[in-house]
Amino acid sequence: MMRYVARRLLWGAALLLLVCALTFVLFFLLPSGDPAALRAGRDASPETLARVREQLRLDEPVWVQFWTYVKGVVLHFDLGYSYYSSAPVSTLLWDRLPATIALALGAAVVWLAIATPIGILSALRRRSWLDRVFMGGALIAISAPVYWVGLLALYLFADDIGRFPLLPGANSYVPLTDDPGAWFGSLLLPWLVLAGAFAGIYARLLRTSLTETMSQDFVRTARAKGISESRVVVRHGVRVAITPVVTLLGVDLGVLLGGALLTEAVFNIPGIGRLGLDAIVYADFPVIQGTVLLAALFVVLANLVVDVVYAFLDPRVRYA
Amino acid sequence: MKTISSLTMKGPAMPRLLARILLAGLLCLTLPLLLAACGGDDDGGADGTAAATTPGAGDGAGGRSGGVLRIVTEEDLAAPLDAGATYSAGAFNVLTATNRPLYRYLPDDPTRAVPDLAAAAPEVSDDGRTVTVRIRDGVRYSPPVNREVVARDVKYAIERGFSPAVGNGYAGLYYGAVIGADRATGGPIAGITAPDDRTLVFRLRRPTGGLLAEALVLPLSAPVPAEYARRFDRVGEGETSQYVNHQVATGPYRFKADASGRVLGAGIVPGRRYVLERNPSWDPATDDRPAHLDGIEWSVGNDPNVAGRQVLEGSGMSLGDTPTAALIKRAVEQHPDQIFFSPGAGSRFAALNTQIPPFDDPNLRKAVAAALDRNQMRLVRGGEVLGDPATHFLYPGVSGFEEAGGMEGPGVDFLANPDGDMELARRYLAAAGYPDGRYTGSETVDVVGDSGDPSDKNAQIFDETLRSLGFRTKLRLVDSGTMYGRFCTVPRAKVEVCPNLGWQRDFDDPQTVLYAAFSGDAIAAQNNTNIPQLDDPAINAAMARAELLVDKQERAEAWAKIDRMITETGAAIPWLWDKQPVLSSKDVHCAHQVWNQGHCDLAFSSLR
């Protein structure tokens, strides 16, 4: 197992290097704002612009910039400075990371808490009115755009502009370390909104997977042994049926940890997604590179964790 | 000092929260129709027919002392928030509260600069080559510097503006005539001297003292203590000055800082929030600004519709962005005393490339100008409350506007009808060699516009106008940074039409509106500010003469004539003089900076 993990980590590092190179190539090949001009301002003379470009090392060939960047990251964990705000990129990322982690993990807990019982109930009572209500609701939740649901949730429930002022609204995010109660309250609406669509997807997936699992021979055998139905469902059925859910969870969490942009935007949660979007708007390349690398790192790690978890969930899986 | 978040959060107890989440979840499941209904009552934009409601700019008087003003925005303040570097209205708004440049404008008078750090008006020598400024006594830096400001601090502040690590965009433009500035890269400039602690002298290579004296209102003239800032300014290649993250203040407010003076992470959290608190070193006896507020907090990254509603229905807030059309309509109809339309917020125009066909022909340019429906261009932005159809380039509130013809303009026929005049356009086409009044050339006209709403609609209207005259066009809509950085300001991109351009004055001098945008000397291979690439010898010569004038009225008259000359070329088509809408909560007494997009002047505004 350790050799497997080490091998995956090495591949992950290679992948990150590739992502880094691709980001460089894309930024410099595709049309975007000129970072030197954006920093120096519209009235800057050609001489000033040239000096700023030189100062930011934008006058060097792309491969030299790439090499300097990779060297800085690998040797010093130095992600550079934002062209836009002059702040160290690592400071910006560390500042945004807690909010993104809180949003993604909290929403995952909510959607799993909603989807798991619904998926199991729907699978066990297929074609019942309960199944139809649950799956119909899931379809609606999947179809509703997060941005729209977020705005409606605010207009309904936010304690400042809502018709039914129940929960803290946009711009109320407080770091956990400042005030745990306020932190929890500020994330309730975002968790619900972000979890809505995911809950629908996961419920449908679990329903399908469990339906198929419950018709397998080993389930029939378990029943024949006289094991209670609840134990058959939980210990034999769900344990196997949950495997594709874990796969999807790994991918989704990896992506969300790279930034849940729409939810962050609607609720003004200062996360990685928002940071990345602003960096693109301002052609702030060091920050773009930092956010992309972080998102890629999360996807790599999440997939690795998922593969390791397989071994514990499914006895048939073994890693050499 | 409370944080933004703690002010917003009302701190509900946990059991109550659980009950609320359950109730919210229940309502989510059972009230889908209500959800839709609740979101739907804002639809539609301001149609331009609502009456303009423009309360006075005010001076903040009448409010109480104390409290915290919260400013919510979607866009980040254009960083870095270093007085030596920044070049945007939002950042100027913040930095006038934390810094004391030599001069500043009163909130509601965009034409008269008053001494701030300076003790009196600048003295310009008769030959226009020397400008002398006396520095006020008793102005001190915030901790950890604490000492009194002296003249050499202003010298250092301006010198560092030439450093590429600071990256000031206008230092060369307005201070470039100072002796030694043309070779400056952040080190001492021979033409700026401080013979004593209270006197600052600028010596110029050319007699442009009149312009320099006006430019002293820009934040670059705010003092910086060299002995403290130097270690942050001296950075290696590939890095930028870190003084912004450790800056000290001279104004009534300062960025919140830790014990070492570091503001990054405390008062400045890029893309998230900015927090100002009272400057303990500020002495009201040295400043005529009342500084009613105890603090100001910016919250960045807000959804514009949500933030606008929070401002209109909440308290102690102001919207730092341009509100959406739906919000403007809502404010005008339901909260008319909470919206202010700041006049003189800039001009919008379309540039036609005069260096390449087809618009190297003046008659074709005039045909397009005649055909353009400027009222429609205004309507898609929100209607008459948001501005007046432009007839020339010096816009209302800028020195020289009246001399250039005021609202009526210089009287050129192709800008006479704001609804567009197709008959006149056809006559100009005929004069250009297309007798049937329709362009029949084979080339495709490249039109590059801004993809943001509502600028994309303006670009589409312009594109339609060109097509209606027979031009084949290719419309490209890209984000604003790309539009400028890769297309419109790069002559080799050979873009024929850029319809979404805007210009704002840097200070109250017509040269700041016309020179960079239309002087042949301003044409550059990159970051070109003269986007139509107008290179008219007569206009260039008139500008060269006008920039040497010292008397303000003489400058206004001379630049008004140049404005007329530019307008007559048709190289660019002015289509709107902006009024900037500003929303505030009902309990905010906002002293609008009419010189700066109508933002609340933080040192004058108050809470009721």
Closest-CA distance of chain B to residue A146, Å: 14
- The helix (run of H) or strand (run of E) holding residue B502 is strand B497-503
- Contact of B388 with chain A, judged by CB distance below 8 Å, is answered with no
Measure the CA–CA gap between A130 and B313, rounded to whole angstroms.
Answer: 42
Which domain, by its residues, includes A46? Answer: 2-76
Measure the CA–CA gap between B71 and A93, rounded to whole angstroms.
Answer: 24
Residue A53 lies in a domain: yes
Place of tokens 């005039």: B366
CB pairs under 8 A between A and B: 263
Crossing angle for the helix pair A243-257 and A180-213, nearest 10 degrees?
A: 150
B282 versus A10: which is more confidently predicted?
B282
Average pLDDT of the segment spanning B112-127: 96
Residue A284 lies in a domain: yes
Contact A274 B482 (CB under 8 A): no
Per-residue confidence (pLDDT) for residue A254, from 0 to 100: 85
For residue A185, the chain B residues in CB contact (below 8 A) are 9, 11-12, 17
Query: Looking at A26-35, A75-84, B2-11, B587-596, which range is the least confident one?
Result: B2-11
Contact B303 A266 (CB under 8 A): yes
pLDDT in tens, B202-243: 999 999 999 999 999 999 999 999 999 999 999 887 788 999
Looking at the fold, whether A68 and A164 belong to one and the same domain comes out as no
B163 pLDDT exceeds 90? yes
pTM of the model: 0.80
ipTM attached to this prediction: 0.72
Per-residue confidence (pLDDT) for residue B34, from 0 to 100: 35
Q: In this structure, what CATH number is given to the domain that contains residue A157? A: 1.10.3720.10
Residue A14 lies in a domain: yes
Contact B214, B507 (CB under 8 A): yes
- State the Cα angle at A304 between A303 and A307, rounded to 5°: 85
Closest-CA distance of chain B to residue A6, Å: 35
Contact B9 A167 (CB under 8 A): no
Three-class SS of B37-75: HHHCCCCCCCCCCCCCCCCCCCCCCCCECCCEEEEECCC
Residue A320 lies in a domain: no
Contact B489 A181 (CB under 8 A): no
Average pLDDT of the segment spanning B489-495: 94
For residue A155, the chain B residues in CB contact (below 8 A) are 38-39, 309
Per-residue confidence (pLDDT) for residue A208, from 0 to 100: 95
- State the Cα angle at B303 between B299 and B305, rounded to 5°: 115
Residue at which a domain ends, from A24, A46, A76 = A76
Average pLDDT of the segment spanning A146-170: 92
pLDDT in tens, A46-65: 888 888 888 888 888 888 88
Q: Which residue of A has its CA nearest to B6?
A: A174
Per-residue confidence (pLDDT) for residue A184, from 0 to 100: 96
B52 pLDDT exceeds 50? no
B3 pLDDT exceeds 90? no
Give me the torsion for CA of B175, B179, B183, B185, rounded to 10°.
Answer: -50
B75 pLDDT exceeds 90? no
Percent over 70 (pLDDT), chain B: 89
Place of tokens 């034999």: A236
Per-residue confidence (pLDDT) for residue A42, from 0 to 100: 66
pLDDT in tens, A219-261: 999 899 988 888 999 888 998 898 889 889 988 988 888 778 8
Looking at the fold, whether A306 and A190 belong to one and the same domain comes out as yes
Closest-CA distance of chain A to residue B513, Å: 11
A76 pLDDT exceeds 90? no
Residue at which a domain ends, from A50, A76, A102 = A76
Looking at the fold, whether A115 and A241 belong to one and the same domain comes out as yes
For residue A80, the chain B residues in CB contact (below 8 A) are 238
- The helix (run of H) or strand (run of E) holding residue A57 is none
Residue A319 lies in a domain: no
Looking at the fold, whether A104 and A245 belong to one and the same domain comes out as yes
Looking at the fold, whether A194 and A286 belong to one and the same domain comes out as yes
Looking at the fold, whether A165 and A269 belong to one and the same domain comes out as yes
Query: Looking at A149-163, B69-83, B264-278, B585-599, which range is the least confident one?
Result: B69-83
pLDDT in tens, A84-111: 888 889 999 999 999 999 999 999 999 9
Per-residue confidence (pLDDT) for residue B88, from 0 to 100: 86
Residue A84 lies in a domain: no
B19 pLDDT exceeds 60? no
Looking at the fold, whether A26 and A123 belong to one and the same domain comes out as no
pLDDT in tens, B449-489: 999 888 999 999 999 999 999 999 999 999 888 898 889 99
B200 versus B56: which is more confidently predicted?
B200
Looking at the fold, whether A261 and A151 belong to one and the same domain comes out as yes
Residue at which a domain ends, from A43, A76, A109 = A76
Contact A283 B485 (CB under 8 A): yes
Per-residue confidence (pLDDT) for residue A35, from 0 to 100: 79
Contact B271 A43 (CB under 8 A): no
Looking at the fold, whether A69 and A122 belong to one and the same domain comes out as no
Nearest to A46 among B32, B313, B527 (CB): B527
Looking at the fold, whether A28 and A134 belong to one and the same domain comes out as no
B7, B28, B451: best to mutate for the A interface, most A CBs within 10 A: B28
Closest-CA distance of chain B to residue A96, Å: 9
Q: Which residue of A has its CA nearest to B82?
A: A85
Q: What is the DSSP secondary structure assignment for residue A214, as one 8-state letter?
A: T
Crossing angle for the helix pair B362-371 and B455-468, nearest 10 degrees?
A: 120
pLDDT band of B62, cuts 50, 70, 90: low
Domain count, chain A: 2
Residue A230 lies in a domain: yes
Alpha carbon distances (Å) from B316 to B73, B293, B583, B608:
14, 11, 11, 9
Looking at the fold, whether A157 and A297 belong to one and the same domain comes out as yes
Looking at the fold, whether A62 and A121 belong to one and the same domain comes out as no
Residue A137 lies in a domain: yes
- Between β-strands B295-299 and B68-72, what pairing exists: parallel, antiparallel or unpaired? parallel
Question: Would you call the peptide bond into B454 cis, given omega within 30 degrees of 0 as the criterion?
Answer: yes
A302 pLDDT exceeds 90? no
